[in-house]
Amino acid sequence: MSITSFTPWEGLVGGLLIGIATVAWLWLYGRVTGISGILGGLVLKEPAGDRSWRAWYLAGLIGGVFGYEWLTRHGLPGTHFSVDLQASWPVLLAAGFLVGVGTRLGRGCTSGHGVCGIARLSKRSFVATGTFMLAAFATVFVVRHVVGG
């Protein structure tokens, strides 16, 4: 496993930006921002006219990372983004499958339940967020300290 350092200011500023993005979408279109739901609408039945904005939103997520990279190369304090994979190919593929199935059945991920659902003070989202956090804590404990210990 890799050691990472606590970066409170970067975390807080990044979180504020994510919050601003969800508020803009809420005040303009009246909807929550849930990335798994946006993805789901692309692959599951949706009215035809409801597809393109979803693709543009997801393209924006990727573009935002390029934007961040560009800013760090032009004077923004901060490190270049890093994607330090911690699992093997088969584990990552299985993990992706579980994330896909789970976010569909549970109707939400870290953004839909964890940010927007908490902001709505939704009981469903509090339960979902507590549950996926606990499941993730337990999984990492087993992987790192029981199996890998």
Partner 1 sequence: MNGARKWRSPIALAAGLVFGLGLGVSGMLDPAKVLNFLDLAGRWDPTLALVMGGAVLVSLPAFQLAMHGRYRPLLAADWDLPTRTVIDIRLVGGATIFGIGWGLGGFCPGPAIAALASGMWPVVGFVATMTFGHWLAGQWPAAQVRDSHVSGVPAHAHG
Restricting to residues 97-126, which ones interact with partner 1 according to CB under 8 A?
97-124
Q: Which two tokens stand for residue 49?
A: 């006219």
Question: Closest separation between CB of residue 71 and partner 1, Å?
Answer: 8
Smallest CA-to-CA distance from 116 within 50, 25, 42, 29 is with: 25
Instruction: Specify the DSSP class assigned to residue 115.
Output: I
> Measured from the CB atom, is 74 or 83 closer to partner 1?
83
Give the separation between CA 99 and CA 107, rounded to whole angstroms.
11
* Residue 75 binds partner 1 (CB under 8 A): no
Question: Closest separation between CB of residue 32 and partner 1, Å?
Answer: 6
Considering only residues 129 to 148 of the shown chain, the ones binding partner 1 according to CB under 8 A are 129, 131-141, 143-145
- DSSP calls for 25-60: HHHHH-----HHHHHHHHHS---GGGSHHHHHHHHH
Which member of 48, 73, 84, 147 binds partner 1 (CB under 8 A)?
A: 84
Considering only residues 38 to 67 of the shown chain, the ones binding partner 1 according to CB under 8 A are 38-41, 43-44, 46, 49-50, 52-54, 56-67
Give the separation between CA 51 and CA 11, rounded to whole angstroms.
31
Question: Closest separation between CB of residue 73 and partner 1, Å?
Answer: 12
Quick check: helix, strand or coil at residue 146?
helix
* Residue 8 binds partner 1 (CB under 8 A): yes
Quick check: helix, strand or coil at residue 15?
helix
Angle between helices 35-43 and 89-105 (to 10 degrees): 90
Question: Closest separation between CB of residue 75 and partner 1, Å?
Answer: 14
* Residue 73 binds partner 1 (CB under 8 A): no
* Residue 4 binds partner 1 (CB under 8 A): yes
